[in-house]
């Protein structure tokens, strides 16, 4: 270790003479003093302190000595160098020869030294240990980072704090001193969360990525899932909706290795939970993504799609520390189709009619009225989207939390509030409700940790969310009308309403409408001001109790652990609907008549409510082991797990969902150089037939920290170099349906005939005399189950490299991976229709997925300025190897050999230019072609355009490339950072139709 110091010897410290008995063997030719000092440190454990310039400008040394003391070696090496030394407590201080060391025999008076300790952002650090080197005097900093200690001049104070580099400072004067501590090298010292436990990052042999709360808070989104893209390699997120309170992103880890459910499982504070997006980001300590088999095998039957692990904050020992954070942000939409003006729209309608040989709809005079706006009542030009929406709408978040504790109890408590406004403007409603959608959420959390004895620790974690999503809304989907009960549906119909359809209102305020312009083209203004409201309330309570008891009395390093989680989720939807009268204006005469589909006004209905709920319990109990034997370290885990999910449902959805099993982990490292680890789970699910419910999922991994080898010890520019690899098997039991091993039946009563009397398949039956018939129900099979149905199995491989250079200023992490997913549940497409029933789904699908990830992180500090750049690149490409498809289907139409979710469509070949061009082109069986229509390519060259000409186009909905770069700079606690992120090789189909309500499919 090198520090710029004046001198560390003080008169009151006793010189440690034991070093003179430490024997050194040294043979070197023309080497630097720095290398000599490192060799002495290696053989004796002595540390050296010196000014860099003194050693760098010193002469090269030649030495060959055996069985010598440290003092004898130093005398030889420093001869004619103009340098001297002193040894105190196995610490060697190197100084210029003319500088005089205070003799240990002459005592000096103590003085009070005061100061303040801060982190790299100039924030005070509470609880930092401050000790006098070589003595027994010490203290700790208060909540403001301040301290006071008695020490003599020229003494050395040592500052240490968990997670930060230790620092030693010489006392040169009687004034106050300021000390800034740097974060430790995260590649070596961080504790990272893994499946069912934690590990030092230096010992991790699996592939994982971690982001801290500090980085998440840089993106003030209302849902945490939208803050992770570009900050975690291998993670992609697609936000399908921008509706307030309904904007959680769909997350995929390392692309997709299945064409079924590829959602990762979520673990919050050690317990599997349904989601994490609505957690207040101020409550989060870290988010970790587990990606390869070594890190996910302990989740067994559930781990194939990856795992997202969220750890919430805990208290630290010290006085109460109150923290407030708040932000106000402005949101806007990223892209909306542009509305066509009434004149352009009408002109194109005329052009289309001419192309079809029909009479024009609009006269030249009418077109002129659309163009000049001279008759807004009969010939309006309304940009409905622009009129009803705003381009910017606010969002605000506030959080206040308090943390602290003693040696016995530590606490963290947090309360948060979020309000998110929506896209519609605020209009006056005759029923008094808001026309602007919104979302409000209250978060609270209380995390307590108790040290009841030196062996017993208990933790209690309570987290809750109260969310309310409000919106103007129409009829519910499935009530005989197109669904208007969500924002996307409303926007979809707003964009489909022509600009020329009708005015917003009549001059007297009545609602205008025109049923002749289209189906269900109701006045969008009336829809949001008069149709009604919808409120979704979601209440969540998540609780976790964990117990750890050290069993060192049985064997050192053994401990018992139990975790119990109990969660409750409740939601209800409240609707109220009304009806409005609408009027049609004759464009020419201006006569007003009542619209036949909207003949009257009706007030808001009573409350229409629906409820749903979910209760889950999770139990984990077992043993941990962690012990070091000299240069050998062994850790182990043996754990029983069980989870029950009780959800409101009927029929096959009535029984609780259950899973249970045993988890194990054994890890070994030698001298922190060589690492080996074995992870496994034997677990199962109620999803499968008896006797076929459990599976074994093992994984092995290994690592080698090359930078800890002796031959790299003197490579000063290399801070860390490690290679690792893993191989294992994991499962995916998300089948999207329950109990597929069971046969299904239905009861039929109807379909009877009395004249004449008969029964037939698929109907009820009749018995008795013709004059006295009795009808009976018939039970018929509707589908046969698959008794061999099972989970998907993924075989994963991963090789990774971690390196850091120049005192960890630059770090690089790179991984390459692949996965072969087999036994994917697949619906039969090649079976015979004469089978008569639906074929049972079979585990016959197979997908291959491969890719790589690279992250570069550069951080540098110059004076009080810290600057850096983080850049990431992730790539994942998959291919369907096997998926049952109709016999005889051409290869280009098959999904086999294509990516999961590959888009298919027609290839265009320009436009039809004339009737002669149409006659000379392949026959278009899709519809009558006219000049100006798109011309499709006859791909199979059979002389006609039909479904056999559909081919793969574009990519899939899952991006193959995800990239980001984030520069940052900070000065005296003020920081500025920017995140740029993007994707490539991805296609999207945002269809504004009744089928998807304007969401991305």
d(CA 761, CA 748): 10
Contact (Cβ atoms closer than 8 angstroms) between residue 695 and residue 660: no
CA–CA separation, 340 and 452 (whole Å): 71
pLDDT tops 50 at residue 523 = yes
Of the ranges 81-90, 176-185, 760-769, 899-908, the best mean pLDDT one:
899-908
Complete DSSP assignment for 899-931: -TT--EEPPEEEE--SHHHHHHSPEETTS---T
C-alpha to C-alpha distances, 704 to 55, 633, 675, 679, 724, nearest whole angstrom? 32, 15, 6, 18, 6
What is the pLDDT, as a whole number, of residue 287?
93
Return the minimum-mean-pLDDT range out of 46-55, 179-188, 924-933: 179-188
pLDDT in tens, 393-421: 999 999 999 999 998 999 999 999 999 99
d(CA 205, CA 701): 6
Is residue 373's pLDDT more than 80? yes
Of 830, 838, 843, nearest in space to 746 by CA: 838
Task: Look over the chain and give the mean of its residue pLDDT values, rounded to a whole number.
Answer: 85
**pLDDT at residue 1, rounded to an integer:** 33
How far apart are alpha carbons 155 and 10 in whole angstroms? 5
Is residue 960 over pLDDT 60?
A: yes
* Residue that has been written with the tokens 């409201």 in this structure: 533
* Structure-token pair, residue 807: 């005192």
Per the structure block, which two tokens stand in for 702?
Answer: 């290994």
Most confident of 298-307, 326-335, 966-975: 298-307
Q: How far from chain centre, in Å, is Cα 130? A: 39
Least confident of 59-63, 161-165, 243-247, 498-502: 161-165
Region 148-156: what's the mean pLDDT?
Answer: 81
b/e per residue 452-489 (b: at least 16 CB within 10 A): eeeeebbbebebebebebbbbbbbbeeeeebbbbbbbb
Least-confidence region, from 78-92, 842-856, 982-996: 982-996
Phi and psi of 26, rounded to 5°?
-145, 130
294 or 778: which leads in pLDDT:
294
pLDDT at 580 over 70: yes
Backbone dihedral region for residue 429 (phi beyond 0: left; psi -120 to 50: alpha; all else: beta): beta
Q: Where are the beta strands (DSSP E) in 763-828?
A: 765-769, 772-776, 778-783, 792-805, 810-826
DSSP 111: E
Residues 49, 42: Cα–Cα separation, whole Å: 15
pLDDT of residue 336 exceeding 90: no
Rounded Cα distance, 168 and 9, in Å: 13
Query: By percentage, how much of the chain surpasses pLDDT 90?
Result: 49
How many Å is the Cα radius of gyration of the chain?
Answer: 36
**269 near 287, Cβ under 8 Å?**
no
At 702, which helix (H) or strand (E)? strand 694-705
Which pLDDT belongs to residue 18?
A: 37
Statement: residue 873 has pLDDT above 90: yes
DSSP for 264-327, written as a single string: PEEEETTEEES--TTS-GGGEEEEEEE-SHHHHGGGGGG-TT-EEEEEE----SEEEEEEEEEE
The pLDDT assigned to 157 comes to 87
Quickly state the pLDDT bin for 436 (edges 50, 70, 90): very high
**Predicted confidence band of residue 715 (pLDDT cuts 50, 70, 90):** confident
Q: Is the pLDDT of residue 121 over 60?
A: yes
810: tokens are: 């630059």
pLDDT at position 482: 59
pLDDT tens readout for residues 682-695: 999 999 999 999 99
Q: Which of 95, 87, 44, 42 is nearest to 68 (CA)?
A: 44
Query: Tens of pLDDT along 590-622?
Result: 999 998 888 888 888 889 899 999 999 999 999
Phi and psi torsions of 570, nearest 5°: -135, 135
pLDDT tops 70 at residue 107: no
pLDDT tens track for 38-58: 888 888 878 777 766 677 778
User: Band of the pLDDT at 171, cuts 50, 70, 90?
Assistant: confident
245 conformational bin, left if phi > 0, alpha if psi -120 to 50, beta if neither:
left
Residues 713, 43: Cα–Cα separation, whole Å? 13
- Distance, in Å, from the CA atom of 534 to the CA atom of 487, rounded to the nearest integer, reads 11
- Note the pLDDT of residue 481: 52
Q: If DSSP codes are grouped into helix, strand and coil, which group holds residue 386? A: helix
Mean pLDDT (whole number) for 700-712: 91
Report how far residue 752's alpha carbon sits from residue 765's, in angstroms, rounded to the nearest whole number: 7
Q: Are strands 674-685 and 177-180 parallel, antiparallel or unpaired?
A: unpaired
Q: What pLDDT is stored for residue 220 in this prediction?
A: 82
Q: Are 440 and 394 in contact (CB under 8 A)?
A: no
Mean pLDDT computed over 949-978: 90
pLDDT at 80: 80
In this prediction, residues 711-739 reach a mean pLDDT of 90
Contact residues for 208 (Cβ-Cβ < 8 A; gap 6+)? 192, 194, 288, 289, 290, 291, 295
Q: What is the DSSP string of 394-462?
A: EEEEEEEEEEEE-SSEEEEEEEEEEEEE-SB-----TT---SS-EEEEEEEEEEEEEE-SSSEEEEEEE
Q: For helices 364-372 and 342-355, what crossing angle results, to 10°? A: 160
| Nearest CA-CA partner of 556 in 627, 635, 634, 638 | 627
* Average confidence (pLDDT) over 262-283: 92
**Backbone φ and ψ of 394, nearest 5°:** -85, 160
792: how many CB neighbours lie within 10 A of its CB?
A: 27
Q: How many residues appear in the chain?
A: 1001
pLDDT band at 831 (very low <50, low <70, confident <90, very high): confident
The pLDDT of residue 757 is 55
The pLDDT tens digits for 451-503 are 999 999 999 999 999 999 999 988 776 544 556 777 887 888 888 889 999 99
For residue 526, the model assigns a pLDDT of 92
User: Percentage of the chain with pLDDT > 70?
Assistant: 91
3-state secondary structure of 883: coil
β-strand pairing of 657-670 with 908-911: unpaired
Taking alpha carbons only, the member of 306, 399, 383 closest to residue 337 is 383
* Residue pLDDT, tens place only, 625-674: 999 888 899 999 999 999 999 988 777 888 889 999 999 999 999 988 99
Alpha helix segments (H runs only) across 445-597: 487-496, 524-530
Cα 848 to Cα 822: distance, rounded to the nearest angstrom:
9
Highest mean pLDDT: which range of 14-28, 92-106, 709-723, 901-915: 901-915
Tell me which H or E stretch contains 675.
strand 674-685
Distances from the Cα of 69 to the Cαs of 24, 73, 103, 713, in angstroms?
6, 6, 21, 23
Residue 32 CB: number of other CB atoms within 10 A? 16
Tens-digit pLDDT profile for residues 2-30:
333 332 333 223 333 333 346 888 888 88
pLDDT of the residue at 129: 84
d(CA 940, CA 907) in angstroms, rounded, equals 12
In the predicted structure, residue 998 carries a pLDDT above the cut 60: no
CA distance 681 to 662: 6
Alpha-carbon span 652 to 737, nearest angstrom: 9
Alpha carbon separation from 124 to 121, 214, 865 (Å, rounded): 9, 16, 17
- Which of 463-477, 528-542, 821-835, 964-978 is modeled with the greatest confidence? 528-542
pLDDT surpassing 80 at residue 37? yes
What letters, b where the CB count within 10 A reaches 16 and e where it falls short, cover 701-718? Answer: bbbbbbbbeeeeeeeeee
Displacement of CA 864 from its chain's centroid (Å): 33
Helix (H, G, I), strand (E, B) or coil at 240: coil
* Non-local CB neighbours of 612 within 8 Å, separated by 6+ positions: 570, 571, 572, 648
CA distance 791 to 843: 8
CA 850/CA 930 separation, integer angstroms:
46
Mean pLDDT of 66-89: 80
Residue 755 has pLDDT above 70, yes or no: no
Per-position DSSP letters for 70-81, written without gaps between them = HHHHHHHHTTTT
How far, in Å, CA of 10 to CA of 26, rounded?
30
Q: Of 114 and 485, which is predicted with more confidence?
A: 114
Number of Cβ within a 10 Å radius of residue 114? 12
Order of strands, sheet of 111-118, starting from the edge strand that comes earlier in the sequence: 146-151, 111-118, 177-180
pLDDT at 579 over 50: yes
In angstroms, rounded to a whole number, what is the distance separating the alpha carbons of residues 738 and 735? 7
Q: What is the pLDDT of residue 347?
A: 94
The pair phi, psi for residue 994, each rounded to 5°, is -70, -20
DSSP tag of 841 = P
């Amino acid at each position: 270790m090198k520090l710029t110091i004046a001198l560390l010897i003080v008169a009151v410290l006793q010189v440690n003479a034991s070093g003179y008995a430490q024997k050194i063997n040294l043979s070197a030719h023309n080497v630097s003093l720095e290398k000599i000092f490192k060799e002495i440190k290696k053989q004796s454990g002595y540390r050296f302190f010196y000014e860099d310039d003194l050693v760098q400008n010193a002469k090269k040394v030649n030495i060959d000595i055996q069985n010598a003391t440290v003092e004898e070696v130093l005398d030889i090496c420093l001869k004619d160098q103009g340098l001297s030394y002193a040894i105190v407590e196995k610490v060697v201080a190197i100084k210029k020869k003319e500088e005089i060391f205070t003799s240990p025999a002459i005592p000096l008076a103590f003085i009070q030294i005061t100061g303040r300790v801060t982190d790299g952002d100039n924030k005070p650090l509470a609880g930092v240990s401050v000790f006098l080197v070589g003595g027994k005097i010490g203290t700790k900093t208060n909540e403001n980072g301040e301290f006071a200690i008695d020490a003599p001049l020229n003494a050395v104070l040592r500052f240490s704090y968990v997670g930060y580099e230790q620092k030693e400072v010489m006392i040169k004067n009687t004034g106050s001193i300021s000390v800034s501590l740097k974060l430790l090298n995260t590649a070596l010292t961080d504790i990272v969360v893994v499946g069912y436990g934690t590990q030092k990052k230096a010992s991790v042999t699996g592939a994982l990525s971690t982001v801290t709360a500090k980085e998440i808070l840089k993106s003030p989104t209302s849902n945490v899932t939208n803050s992770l893209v570009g900050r975690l390699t291998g993670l992609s997120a697609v936000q399908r909706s921008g509706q307030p309170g309904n904007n959680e992103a769909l997350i995929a880890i390392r692309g997709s290795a299945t064409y079924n459910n590829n959602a990762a499982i979520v673990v919050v504070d050690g317990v599997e939970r349904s989601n994490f997006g609505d957690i207040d980001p101020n409550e989060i300590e870290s988010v970790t993504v587990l990606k390869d088999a070594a890190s996910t095998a302990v989740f067994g039957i559930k781990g194939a799609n990856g795992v997202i692990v969220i750890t919430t904050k805990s208290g630290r020992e010290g006085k109460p520390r109150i923290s407030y954070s708040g932000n106000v942000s402005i949101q806007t939409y990223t892209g909306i189709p542009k509305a066509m003006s009434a004149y352009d729209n009408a002109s194109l309608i005329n052009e289309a009619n001419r192309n079809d040989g029909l009479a024009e709809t609009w006269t030249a005079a009418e077109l002129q009225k659309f163009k000049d706006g001279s008759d807004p009542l009969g010939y309006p030009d309304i940009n409905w989207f622009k009129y009803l929406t705003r381009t910017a709408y606010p969002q605000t978040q506030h959080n206040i939390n308090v943390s602290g504790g003693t040696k016995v109890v530590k606490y963290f408590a947090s309360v948060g509030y979020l309000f998110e406004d929506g896209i519609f403007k605020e209009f006056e409603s005759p029923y008094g409700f808001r026309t602007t959608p919104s979302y409000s959420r209250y978060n609270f959390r209380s995390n307590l940790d108790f040290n009841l004895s030196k062996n017993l620790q208990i933790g209690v974690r309570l987290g809750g969310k109260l969310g309310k999503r409000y919106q103007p809304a129409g009829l519910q989907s499935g009530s005989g009308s197109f669904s208007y009960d969500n924002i996307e549906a409303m926007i979809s119909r707003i964009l489909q309403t022509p600009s020329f359809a009708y005015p917003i209102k009549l001059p007297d305020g009545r609602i205008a409408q025109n049923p002749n312009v289209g189906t269900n083209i109701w006045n969008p203004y009336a829809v949001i001001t008069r149709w009604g409201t919808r409120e979704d309330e979601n209440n969540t309570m998540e609780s976790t109790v964990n117990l750890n008891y050290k069993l060192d009395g049985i064997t050192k390093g053994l401990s018992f652990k139990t975790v119990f989680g109990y969660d409750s989720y409740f939601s209800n939807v409240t609707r109220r609907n009304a009806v409005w009268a609408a009027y049609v204006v004759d464009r020419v005469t201006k006569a007003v008549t009542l619209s036949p589909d909207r003949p009257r006004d009706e007030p808001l209905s009573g409350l229409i409510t629906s409820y749903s709920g979910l209760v889950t319990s999770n139990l984990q109990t077992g043993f941990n082991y962690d012990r070091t034997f000299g240069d050998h370290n062994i850790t182990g885990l043996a754990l029983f797990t069980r989870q029950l999910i009780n959800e409101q449902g009927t029929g096959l959805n009535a029984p609780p969902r259950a899973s249970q099993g045993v988890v194990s982990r054994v890890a070994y490292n030698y001298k922190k150089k060589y690492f080996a680890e074995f992870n496994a789970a034997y677990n199962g699910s109620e999803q499968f037939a008896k006797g076929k419910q459990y599976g074994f999922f093992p994984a092995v991994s290994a690592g080698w920290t090359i930078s800890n080898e002796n031959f790299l010890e003197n490579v000063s520019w290399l801070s860390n170099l490690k290679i690792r690899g893993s191989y294992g098997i994991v499962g995916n039991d998300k089948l999207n349906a329950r109990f597929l091993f069971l046969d299904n039946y239905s009861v039929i009563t109807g379909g009877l005939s009395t004249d004449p009397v008969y029964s037939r398949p698929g109907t009820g039956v009749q018995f008795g005399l013709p004059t006295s018939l009795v009808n009976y129900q018939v039970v018929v099979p509707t589908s046969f189950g698959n008794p061999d149905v099972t989970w998907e199995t993924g075989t994963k491989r991963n090789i990774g490299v971690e390196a850091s250079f120049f005192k960890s200023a630059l770090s690089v992490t790179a991984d390459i991976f692949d996965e072969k997913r087999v036994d994917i549940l697949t619906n039969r497409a090649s079976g015979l229709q004469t089978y008569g029933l639906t074929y049972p789904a079979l585990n016959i699908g197979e997908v291959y997925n491969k890719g790589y990830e690279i992250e570069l992180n550069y951080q540098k500090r110059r004076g009080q300025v810290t600057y850096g750049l983080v850049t990431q690149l992730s790539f994942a490409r998959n291919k369907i190897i096997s998926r049952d498809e109709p016999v005889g289907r051409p290869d280009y139409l098959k999904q086999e050999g294509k990516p999961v979710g590959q888009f298919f469509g027609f290839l265009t070949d320009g436009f039809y230019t004339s009737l002669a061009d149409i006659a000379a082109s392949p026959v278009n069986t899709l519809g009558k072609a006219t000049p100006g229509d798109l011309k499709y390519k006859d791909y199979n060259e059979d002389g006609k355009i039909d479904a056999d000409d559909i081919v793969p186009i574009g990519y899939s909905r899952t991006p193959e490339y995800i990239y980001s770069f984030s520069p940052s700079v900070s000065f005296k606690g003020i920081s500025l950072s920017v995140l740029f992120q993007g994707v490539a090789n991805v296609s999207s189909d945002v269809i504004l139709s009744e089928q998807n309500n304007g969401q991305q499919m």
